[in-house]
Amino acid sequence: MSENSLSEGQQAPLFCLPDQDGKEICLKDLKGKWIVLYFYPRDNTAGCTKEAQDFTSLKAAFEDEGAMILGVSRDSMASHQKFIEKKELTITLLSDMEITVHKLYDVWRLKKFMGKESMGTVRTTFLIDTEGNITNIWDNVKTKDHAQNVLEKLRSMKK
């Protein structure tokens, strides 16, 4: 599997996507905040649920650090609403059904599963600073302790 083509230190690609309520969220409007932008394959699957619940449980700690959490998948706004309700999530989920932003962030890549190759979302997290620069990239994320690791990295970056 190839590595992400974006690199730490570069400007995060700008985008606008609808959240679970249809409200447009634009990266350029979030300057001055730290952004945890994480891409995940699908609502209501085991790993994605665990990741979303972990980010939800740490949301207050991220907010204390001036950070906003944005989860992005190809799911529809309606799917996101159901996912949030069912799993009692409090984070913002963005809908990228056209995979435009997935491609912009190079997380739409060839994946191998049980010997078959297909295009899909590579679970990836970007930490974006108050100036809109990418400070950290976690590529091909394993969900265990991931949200906590991102929070610790954010805290160390702010020192």
68-77 burial, b for 16+ CB within 10 Å, e for fewer? bbbbbbbbeb
Parallel/antiparallel/unpaired status of strands 34-39 and 67-73: parallel
Contact predicate 93/71, CB 8 Å: yes
Dist. CA 31–CA 144, nearest whole Å: 29
Q: What share of the chain is helix, strand, coil (3-state, %, to 5)?
A: 30, 30, 40
Could you say which DSSP state residue 33 is in?
S
What is the residue whose two structure tokens read 């447009």?
24
Query: Which of these is catalytic: 6, 17, 48, 58?
Result: 48
48 a catalytic residue: yes
Active site residue ranges: 48
